[in-house]
Structure 1
Amino acid sequence: MNVLKRNAVIVAALYAVTTPLLAQTSLDSLQRLPEVVVTERYGDREIRSSAPMRILLRKSIRNLNALQLSDVVKHFPGVTVKDFGGIGGLKAVSVRSLGASHTAVNYNGFTINDIQTGQIDIGRFALDNVDMISLNSGQSDNIFQPARLFASASVLNIQSAAPQVGPGKKVNGRASLKAGSFGMFNPAVSTNLKLNEKLSASLSGEWLSANGEYPYILHYGEAGRDSSSVEKRENTDVKNLRLEGALFANFSDKSSGNLRTYYYQSERGLPGATILYNTSGFSKQRLRDNTFFTQAHYLNNLSGRWALQANAKYNHGYVYYLDPEFLNAEGKLENRYRQNEFYGSVSALFRALENLSFSASTDVVMNNMSANLPDFAYPTRYTSLSSLAAKYVSDRLLATASLLYTQTSEHVRSGTAADNRHRLSPYSSLTFQPFEAIDFRLRAFYKNIFRLPTFNDLYYSRVGKRDLKPEDTHQFNIGFTYSTSAAERLPLLTMTTDAYFNKINNKIVAYPNRNIFEWSMMNFGSVEICGVDIALESAFALSSKVKLLAGSSFTFQDSRNKSNPGSPAYNHQLPYTPRFSGSGRAVVETPWLNAAYTLLWSGTRYTSAQNMPENRLSGYADHGISLSKSVEIKHNRIGLSVEALNLGNKNYEIVRNFPMPGRSFRGTISINF
């Protein structure tokens, strides 16, 4: 590799750790430093990453027949989404069987946190204004980031589109309307404003409503061998509103910042499990939640060696849960929860040498929670996170290492507070290209991380336990990546393969105490997970005007319960974890029409800790197709698309007794102005 090419790679890697992504096209990102301009394909980041990383850009996302973030994440290898069915059903993501609480959700550079449950419902994130989604197992090669992004076993990143207004224009934007089966109605609009040469803004809003009343087949015995009836899912309606605004400032060639405000509200029914001979009126539970946050980011490249960034955020969350048929003196159960978070972070980057960088970051967080429950603890948690990291990069070698220190202080208004905690968490990763002429790389990483007990784990009435220990997780990964673009008819072919071993100690589990109605939490679990993730991406030039883009993923996970050798469930596969799963997608792009096909499939799973035949849940395959066309009319681009989902019309179950919708259809019309 010549000197110019080598230096370009070095500069690109160094820049990747100094600034978040603010602008991108469908294939490339244009990145600017003083006197240097480097163009890098996103596919190269996946191949060069020292830890597994998957990226999907806006164009690819729109070809996935996806309505919500959860629909996209299902296509990432190693991911399991617990989906309770329908548009409004709760959806939680687990990566490599570690559990949803070990996956951080990073929205435009800030972690979204739920101190109550530790799990983020990713079904709340729509895709209309999303520019990029990525998933990092372990952690990113970007060492210039807040300490909080070092503090999880995996990170799901969501990047919104930044304002891009063409020369001579002050305003542009996009408006769309989606409508489909089960009463779905989904208008959305986003606008970019160029206020002056240094200031720009974006505004977006979205509404989603659906009755969600889809038919399903209820079997009264073994499927296909006993009687059945066609029923309709009830209490499945949903109404969501999202409003978002952001202000972007380029103070100088060296400094920039942004301010973002977000509001989300949802009101929905919680459909119950399908119960034999009781399909009418058994579920009337309602859930209403509101989220508001405002966050600010500032970046300053002080010199060629030093860079500084600062973040601040306030988040307020409200949840209202109603069960109008609860068997108590009031004849109903009404729970209200409020949580607040105050967050601040300062990070510094030092480029010691051409190939070597160091970073330091300190975050402080304050979380509190209130509820209308009797004898509620009203807990407050103060958390301090500090990280030190180093990165070495050359044309054939990339290595990172970090050390995270976490300290917590627990306080309650009533009762006894949980123990304070302090921990050191190390991480190291390496990727190496052994052959200069072949883009083949070997990679490995190790990470030790933990997750703190949530407020529900610690303080929930008659269930929480104050002396719970954090879950301790060890992650090991080895793999290789390969990329080529030599053939004229095959301009792109990439492959990533990773084998991993995860071990969780002190896993927090719920178990019955004196009877089946009184449960408690305890550190009882130990889990060992072995797996393999494989992903393929390719592009074929079928002719000068026709292109085929194809991708697939395959996952093998052997996730064993190692908690108690005397237990009947010892060494059994974890519940709802398939040993084999995968996805596929293909897009044919022509000047006249684009056609896309998607596939999601999963093997057999078990619904409880014991892998007995009566607990077996059958596998499934979900096929979808779409057709799309865009035309330019008077400098405005009009887009039309139609989608057919779950072509097999199977009410398969991801969670037992929560059937998924059968065949459905969606149509979208959009205008870019």
Structure 2
Amino acid sequence: MFKPIDTAMLLHIYTSSSLVPPLTTLKHLLLFMLGFASLYAQSRMKIIDSTTAKPIPAAVVSDGVTHRTAGSGGVADISAFDTGKPLVVSAPGYRTKMVLLSNNSKNLPDENKGDIRESEENESGKSQSNESTGNKKQEDKNIFAGDTVVIFLAPLSEELDEILVSGEKPISTSVYNKEIELSEMPWGGNLGLPELIKEHFSLNLKEYGGAGALKQISFRGLSAENSLVLFNGIRVNDIRTGGFDLSGVNIVDLSYAGFSSAISKEGSISAGGVLSLGTRPVKENGAYLTLKTDNAGLISFAGSGRLREGGFSLSVSGERSWSSNKFDYEFNGQVLQRSNSHFNRSFLSLTAGQAWAAFSLDFYTNYSLFNSGIPGFVVSNNTSSSQAVNRTEGSLSILRLKGSPADNTGLEISAAYNYQQIDLDDPNLAWYKGNGNDRSGLNSISLNFSADHSLYGVKLTGGYGLELGSLNDIKTVLSNQRRETSVERTVHRFILKGEKEFEAVRIGFSSLTLNAGLNYDIFSQKGIGSREENLISWSAGVATTPNFYKNLSLKGNYFRGARVPSYNEYYYSSLFTVGNLKPEVSSGFEVGFVIQKPVIFVEAVNFTYYRLNTEEKIIWVPSIIGLQVPRNVAKTRSVGFEASVEVALPVPGLKAEAAYFYSEAVNISPFGTADGSHEKQLIYSPKQRVVSSLSWESERLSIRIDHRFTGESFYTSDNDPKYRIAPNNVFDLHLAGNFKIGAVTELLSLSFFNIFNENYKIIQSYPMPLRSIVFSITTKI
């Protein structure tokens, strides 16, 4: 007889190397090698992490009476157990597994004969069906050979984050609904969040010129104030401006980004869409360091360290970058350099999490410091810089508990604190006609509670949120010497959402899903003016798949959203306090379809038609002294469609994507007989946009070409051709390659932005850079 193979030693040697293949390959290799061994009744058990293939020390094997604990190599002695009885394998932070070893387990398992019977259960002993846990992964199967059985356990934190707290995946009726894993992007450190938002969500961004400048979402002709931004479920829109600056987010800190029209999976409703950003528990230990530079003087160092032990995860990230940012632009046929556009940034964050059988707790905190020049307007030359400098210091902390306290029931509780200090020095008194500076502080506390329960097939979600915010030492344009200098806001928010999926075969559909949501906000403000508002937003949607063509999904939503004016709109100037501004209210519908794999090589085709009407639209109109002030003077209508296609070309790794957007966003309420804005396109709202890309990826190399066409827009409401922003075509090229040296992976990235030197603007007087080159090198351990 052959000598039994030491399976534990084999696994230790193999999984300790840097050449670990996917888990399925590992299993097949082990089965092949172990098939030549002599086979005995199992006396040892090797417990392995199903995501990392690493042993799990301190795992416990029990038959309900006797307990055995695995050593540092993940091996436990099971010789004392009756293998004819169920054995429970558990470890902190992992799903508990019950395994019943059959009497003939000394033979290699024949999956068709059912030699192995197992079920998944939580630590309270309640079994979970495949309906809630999904199909079993290949790596979850157990391996028998010689005197050792190998058991794979799945981490809890990964599972809890991929599903809703009740254990069910969200049902989406939003026509526009997409999420990307940022940790899987192949382009190294060259792309920031604004670039990824443009490339993967095809959203229109209002950009105020170059790196470090303001970048905000504009969705379907609505302003940035109408797009809601969530970070780990917490609303992070700036109460000063109402929008959210994408350039202020550190990309190394994020795990995912998602965008939904109408209603998000959390139940939040916004007519301008919902952008969800967040972190997830790290899956494995490691560290990386990225060095980045560009042809405008940028130098950036970013790094992260990650630890994973069972259900505990920890990640620490940081970045330090600075640049003179003297990028080239073209004005009146001359190539000039932008002045006073310098910036430097420091960023540090910590993410920690712990998962148990039915709950997980995670904590996130960051600190950021951003200094930048304010380049001012470019009207006739480059000497118009205000020489003003802005300094923003802030911190965001979020603590969140989520889990499933009972069958079909989910619970999530979160608390957040947001602090910002803004210092603006204005030596030339271009912004403030007083002492030339602004020192204002923001403090905001958020408390959220939500619970969901499935009853008779209906998933019900209810939530309550409290937001307390204050702005202190506030200054305003033209006069920063005002008597009242603070404002306090309180918002009580109630969220209800219901989802139901039907079997509708009798009426010609394989599935039918109904979705409805309601947001009710009680808003109050004290300080510089007192206000109280009650706002109602709602959404009702349907999604279905017909019997005759199951690759087709039909979706539709009817919705209403409301927003309170931002602080800047209320109190932009002490000379023109407009405390009587009313909230904007937008209502409309969207209908569309998605076809998966309609023909060969085509992965998906999407089409959406929408119509959106806004009342009490806040428009900035000229005053008698030339200063623009906000007024509720407009009704607007946005009508358009969005079409996209994804193609997998007949070359391994080669794919193409293209999207076309058409939008008529017009003013439908004339200001008077002499007003020329009636039925004219809203400012900075192009009618047509095209976004396309061609990419090829292999194991070691990635190449991507991006193209963006933006049609003409206007920066005056009467659409005077003299005040036209010309259409533009912009092409970017991204190259990335990686290689390994032992356990170290090196990733090199080279990006060419605006490779054909297109002279263009998105916002008047804020030119975009000509060709720019960014290079980065990332070392991963």
TM-score normalised by the shorter chain: which range applies?
Answer: 0.7 to 0.9
1:160 aligned partner: 279
Matched, 1:636 2:636: no
Do the aligned residues in 1 keep the contact of 2:536 with 2:562 (CA within 8 Å)?
A: no
**Alpha-carbon separation, structure 2, partners of 1:9 and 1:428:** 27
Which letter maps to 1:325? N
1:205-284 matches, cutoff 5 A: 205-219=318-332, 228-250=333-355, 252-276=356-380, 278-280=381-383, 282-284=385-387
- Give 3-state SS (helix, strand or coil) of 2:339's partner: coil
Matched, 1:476 2:589: yes
1:127-206 matches, cutoff 5 A: 127-140=251-264, 142=265, 145=266, 149-150=268-269, 153-165=272-284, 171-194=285-308, 196-206=309-319
1:534 aligned partner: 643
**Alpha-carbon separation, structure 1, partners of 2:327 and 2:630:** 36
Matched, 1:417 2:522: no
Do the aligned residues in 1 keep the contact of 2:281 with 2:352 (CA within 8 Å)?
A: no
Do the aligned residues in 2 keep the contact of 1:370 with 1:378 (CA within 8 Å)?
A: yes
Which of the numbers 528, 553, 560 marks the counterpart of 2:666?
A: 560
Which of the numbers 312, 315, 324 marks the counterpart of 2:418?
A: 315
Cα distance change on mapping 1:329 and 1:468 into 2, 3 Å: closer
Q: CA deviation at 1:84?
A: 1.1
- The structure in which a higher percent of residues are strand is 1
Do the aligned residues in 2 keep the contact of 1:136 with 1:155 (CA within 8 Å)?
A: yes
Matched, 1:113 2:237: yes
Cα deviation 1:383-408 (Å, max 9, x = unaligned): 10111110012562222101221111
Aligned length: 616
Q: CA deviation at 1:659?
A: 1.4
Do the aligned residues in 1 keep the contact of 2:174 with 2:260 (CA within 8 Å)?
A: no
Cα deviation 1:170-190 (Å, max 9, x = unaligned): x31222111111011121111
Do the aligned residues in 2 keep the contact of 1:243 with 1:262 (CA within 8 Å)?
A: yes
Is the deviation greater in 241-250 or in 433-442? 433-442
Q: Which has the higher contact order (CA 8 A, sep 6+)?
A: 1
**Alpha-carbon separation, structure 2, partners of 1:243 and 1:328:** 31
Cα distance change on mapping 1:175 and 1:421 into 2, 3 Å: same
Do the aligned residues in 1 keep the contact of 2:292 with 2:299 (CA within 8 Å)?
A: yes
Cα deviation 1:180-220 (Å, max 9, x = unaligned): 110111211111123x434221110112221111222220x
**Alpha-carbon separation, structure 2, partners of 1:617 and 1:64:** 33
Cα distance change on mapping 1:332 and 1:280 into 2, 3 Å: farther
Cα distance change on mapping 1:428 and 1:495 into 2, 3 Å: same
**TM-score, normalised to structure 1's length?**
0.86
Which of the numbers 173, 195, 199 marks the counterpart of 1:71?
A: 195
Cα distance change on mapping 1:152 and 1:573 into 2, 3 Å: closer
Which letter maps to 2:446? Y
Is the deviation greater in 622-631 or in 280-289? 280-289
Is the deviation greater in 618-627 or in 457-466? 457-466
Q: CA deviation at 1:327?
A: 6.2
Q: CA deviation at 1:11?
A: 7.1
**Alpha-carbon separation, structure 2, partners of 1:66 and 1:670:** 10
1:585-624 matches, cutoff 5 A: 585-624=693-732
Do the aligned residues in 2 keep the contact of 1:75 with 1:582 (CA within 8 Å)?
A: no
Give the number of the structure whose alpha-carbon radius of gyration is greater. Answer: 2
Do the aligned residues in 1 keep the contact of 2:271 with 2:587 (CA within 8 Å)?
A: no
1:3 aligned partner: none
Matched, 1:366 2:468: yes
**Alpha-carbon separation, structure 2, partners of 1:282 and 1:364:** 41
**Alpha-carbon separation, structure 1, partners of 2:662 and 2:349:** 39
Cα distance change on mapping 1:403 and 1:229 into 2, 3 Å: closer
Cα distance change on mapping 1:521 and 1:627 into 2, 3 Å: closer
Matched, 1:341 2:444: yes
Which letter maps to 1:515? I
Which of the numbers 450, 453, 466 marks the counterpart of 2:565?
A: 453
**Alpha-carbon separation, structure 2, partners of 1:271 and 1:371:** 24
Which of the numbers 486, 493, 511 marks the counterpart of 1:396?
A: 511
**Alpha-carbon separation, structure 2, partners of 1:486 and 1:606:** 40
Do the aligned residues in 2 keep the contact of 1:377 with 1:459 (CA within 8 Å)?
A: no
1:316-331 matches, cutoff 5 A: 316-326=419-429
Cα deviation 1:100-126 (Å, max 9, x = unaligned): 001111122222131111111111123
Do the aligned residues in 2 keep the contact of 1:290 with 1:317 (CA within 8 Å)?
A: yes
Do the aligned residues in 2 keep the contact of 1:243 with 1:264 (CA within 8 Å)?
A: yes
**Alpha-carbon separation, structure 1, partners of 2:221 and 2:465:** 28
Cα RMSD over matched residues? 2.7
**Alpha-carbon separation, structure 2, partners of 1:204 and 1:328:** 36
**Alpha-carbon separation, structure 2, partners of 1:342 and 1:536:** 42
Which letter maps to 1:650? E
Cα distance change on mapping 1:158 and 1:601 into 2, 3 Å: same
Cα distance change on mapping 1:161 and 1:662 into 2, 3 Å: farther
Do the aligned residues in 2 keep the contact of 1:50 with 1:399 (CA within 8 Å)?
A: no
Structure 1 residue ranges without an equivalent (≥5): 1-6, 14-20, 166-170, 220-227
Q: CA deviation at 1:470?
A: 0.6
**Alpha-carbon separation, structure 1, partners of 2:218 and 2:384:** 32
Which of the numbers 403, 406, 427 marks the counterpart of 1:303?
A: 406
Cα deviation 1:498-522 (Å, max 9, x = unaligned): 01011110012233333214x5432
Is the deviation greater in 319-328 or in 267-276? 319-328
**TM-score, normalised to structure 2's length?**
0.74
Q: CA deviation at 1:671?
A: 1.8
**Alpha-carbon separation, structure 1, partners of 2:339 and 2:499:** 53
Which letter maps to 1:503? N
2:32 aligned partner: none
Cα deviation 1:557-616 (Å, max 9, x = unaligned): 100011226321111001111100021112112345221111111011111111111011
Which of the numbers 596, 611, 634 marks the counterpart of 1:525?
A: 634
Is the deviation greater in 311-320 or in 72-81? 72-81
**Alpha-carbon separation, structure 2, partners of 1:379 and 1:197:** 46
**Alpha-carbon separation, structure 2, partners of 1:60 and 1:608:** 42
Do the aligned residues in 2 keep the contact of 1:458 with 1:468 (CA within 8 Å)?
A: yes
- Give 3-state SS (helix, strand or coil) of 2:569's partner: helix
Do the aligned residues in 2 keep the contact of 1:440 with 1:480 (CA within 8 Å)?
A: yes
Do the aligned residues in 2 keep the contact of 1:190 with 1:204 (CA within 8 Å)?
A: yes
Do the aligned residues in 2 keep the contact of 1:61 with 1:72 (CA within 8 Å)?
A: no
Cα deviation 1:438-487 (Å, max 9, x = unaligned): 31011100111100011222234223311211100103101111102885
Which letter maps to 2:730? D
Cα distance change on mapping 1:328 and 1:239 into 2, 3 Å: closer
Which letter maps to 1:424? I
1:287 aligned partner: 390
Which letter maps to 2:597? T
Cα distance change on mapping 1:329 and 1:364 into 2, 3 Å: closer
**Alpha-carbon separation, structure 2, partners of 1:191 and 1:268:** 28
Cα distance change on mapping 1:139 and 1:61 into 2, 3 Å: farther
Matched, 1:499 2:609: yes
2:677 aligned partner: 569
Structure 2 residue ranges without an equivalent (≥5): 1-128, 136-155, 476-481, 503-509
Is the deviation greater in 125-134 or in 173-182? 125-134
